[in-house]
A and B are shown apart, each in its own frame.
Chain A
Amino acid sequence: MRIFASFRIAGRALRRNKMRSVLTMLGIIIGVGSVIAAVSITSGATKQVEDRVASLGQNVVTVFSGNFTSGAMRGGWGSAPTLTTGDSEAILQNVPNVVAVSPEVRDRAQVLANGLNWNTQVIGESPDYPQIRNWNIAKGSMFSEQDVRSIAKAAVIGKTVADQLFPNENPVGQTLRIRNIPFKIVGLLESKGFNLFGQDQDDVVIVPYSSHMHRITTRIYVNSILVQAASTEAISKVQSDISDLLLSRHRSHEPDFTVRNQVELMQAATATAKVMSILLAGIASVSLLVGGIGIMNIMLVSVTERTREIGIRMAVGARGNDILVQFLIEAVTLSAFGGSVGIGLGIGASRLISSLMQWPTLTPVAWIFIAFLSSAIIGVISGFYPAWKASKLDPIDALHYE
């Protein structure tokens, strides 16, 4: 209807008092800016932790073997070997919503190649391992199911091992000696960097678990079993199904194993960041509130100061509603414009922090909308009372106001 005209009137009124408009907006600018900066920093930190947890693999449930108790002395998880490759096969066959499993055997060993040697982690896995860990092969390929069955002397190596043993050379196709047994390198993994605990994940040699258990070591138990669930929602069901299955297979009442999932790890790791973000958002909201009070204050002053103007407008035919809308639009324009500037400033500030202090920052799009909307709402709330007061003025009194 006449909203467009009201916008023009409000725009003119704000331009007539530029300095005051800018100062009023400053409250909202600082409030919104600090909300955006705070959210960017904390969600950047949360995202980093989540990425590290995700690098452990997607929807992964890990089964560790149980603990060993001798007299009063109790060993840690994995100290009592109970898990077998049979357990691993049973999980894949019997538990619904399991897409991949990999029995895991770990050992440290001295490896030799190319006239160089290096002490590294040698792990036995199934061919599903790269899929479970969400880890791509950079060169060559993963060993196959056939290699597992034939206890093949095939190995896939990490970036760090490749750099140490084959500087400036393609390791794929070369031979690597593990405990003096020659393994053919069939693949090179992509670099994955450090994990949550600061360990270099690329410092690794992966061989078929059968080869590890029969050629490198002589074991009948595995350290753990990695299980990939079909979806995040299926994780808890898969977890309890595995427990039930293993309890019956091990014929014990007490679980001699433990089943952990990634979600638990993720929750623990991001808990601190969550608390921080709530705290920061809380502080920032207070400054936003103060900004809103500033707008209300200025609008009240403005209504008193412009009583005569209101009288003139009413005399020439402005309805109470026209006056209400005009002042409301002025307040919302102040806060929404201030909010937009604040969003820009907040993003800028978080970029600056990110480049100066090497902190990862991330501005979620949803928060940009939330910040804009809440500043507009603050404008409506803080502008309403002054606008309503203006609209209720008596035109005769307003015209004669000195």
Chain B
Amino acid sequence: MQTNPVIKLVEIHKTYHTGEVDVHAVRGVSREILPGEFVAIMGSSGSGKSTLMNMIGCLDRPTEGRYWLDGIDVSTLDRDALADIRNEKIGFVFQGFNLLSRTSALENVEMPMLYNRHRIAAHEQRDRALHALELVGLGDRADHHPNQLSGGQQQRVAIGRALVNRPSLLLADEPTGNLDSQTSIEIMGVFQKLNDQGITIVMVTHELDIARYTKQMVVLRDGKIVTDEAVGNRLNADVELSHLHEAQQAVRLA
């Protein structure tokens, strides 16, 4: 059986014209990502990973090349059509969580459904939002506001929001950048579970430790892919967490 790629990038270029100098942020990236993949995009700052991420996330358009998302050529779509694609096909998780303040977790998760092209009944929105919160282990915190939640919990709400429109792709931009190491592992555990359920995940990170929880590492340098390899001795979040607990117990006993 042949599976269609979720993402198909063909010779993607992005050039910024800032003043007199042209900045070539991305210079010819071609890559397919199949359903069920869990890819980490790595690279130092200025490697073009954020630019590539923005294009994959349909927030920006390539200056050259073609991009098919879920079989749709999105490289030529206009602003409104891109907004619709983002709504239906992509779930975003950001470094800074980007939740609406003074708005309950449930309402934050419901938000993408307000912009769905197909009207979703209020009770269905609620049911789906609650279900998404349960999926990330926050079913009992639905009415909490972001300032009543820890960083890890806020990021879980953000993941719930990313999942609520049942996207074909989950895009995470430094999702653990603002979190301590234990919480980072917990969040990676959430991603691993979602990936086990068949959700395709692309994640930008500059931390090798975090990238080792994914299945595939793509390294960018100067706007080009320099390494693209499967993760050797992949880490399992559950195992790492129990190691961490044992270590903590040991410290306490000592």
Contact = CB atoms under 8 A, between A and B. Distances in A.
Chains A and B are bound partners: yes
Nearest to A306: B100
B252 interface: no
B83 interface: yes
Interface in B59-89: 59-60, 79-80, 83-84, 86-88
Contacts of B191: none
Contacts of A94: none
Interface stretch (A318-326, A327-335, A342-350, A381-389): A318-326
Contacts of A319: 79-80, 83-84, 115
A2 B115 contact: yes
Interface stretch (A119-127, A239-247, A307-315): A307-315
A9 interface: yes
Nearest to B113: A5
B30 interface: no
Decide if the interface of chain A is mainly helix, strand, loop or mixed: helix
Contacts of B87: 316-318
Contacts, number: 66
A16 B102 contact: yes
B107 interface: yes
B107 A318 contact: no
A396 interface: yes
A308 B94 CA distance: 12
B33 interface: no
A395 interface: yes
A5 B125 CA distance: 12
A399 interface: yes
A278 B107 CA distance: 49
B158 to A, nearest CB: 10
A12 B101 CA distance: 11
Given A12-B107, A317-B86, A317-B87, A5 B80 contact: no
Contacts of A8: 114
B98 A308 contact: yes
B112 interface: yes
A9 B102 contact: no
Contacts of B102: 16
Interface residues of A, number: 24
Contacts of A5: 114-115
Contacts of A320: 79-80, 83
A308 B92 CA distance: 14
Contact of A312 (B57, B60, B100): B100
B54 interface: yes
Nearest to B112: A316
Contacts of A314: 83, 86
Interface string B116-127: 100100000000
A9 B114 contact: yes
Contact of A2 (B57, B92, B111, B119): B119
Given A312-B98, A399-B94, A317 B59 contact: no
B84 A396 contact: no
A2 B114 contact: yes
B248 interface: no
Given A317-B115, A322-B115, A395 B59 contact: yes
Given A316-B111, A322-B115, A396-B60, A12 B86 contact: no
A12 B80 contact: no
A5 B112 CA distance: 11
A321 B80 CA distance: 9
A320 B81 CA distance: 11
Among A312, A316, A322, A395, the one with the most B-chain Cβ atoms within 10 Å of its Cβ is A316
Contacts of A311: 98
B103 interface: yes
Contacts of B83: 314, 317-320, 322
Cβ-closest 6 pairs across A and B: A317-B87, A316-B112, A317-B115, A5-B114, A319-B83, A317-B86
Interface of B: 54, 57, 59-60, 79-80, 83-84, 86-88, 92, 94, 98-100, 102-103, 107, 111-112, 114-116, 119, 161, 165
17 contacts: A308-B98, A312-B99, A313-B111, A313-B115, A314-B83, A315-B57, A316-B92, A316-B112, A316-B161, A317-B83, A317-B84, A317-B112, A317-B115, A319-B115, A320-B80, A322-B115, A396-B54
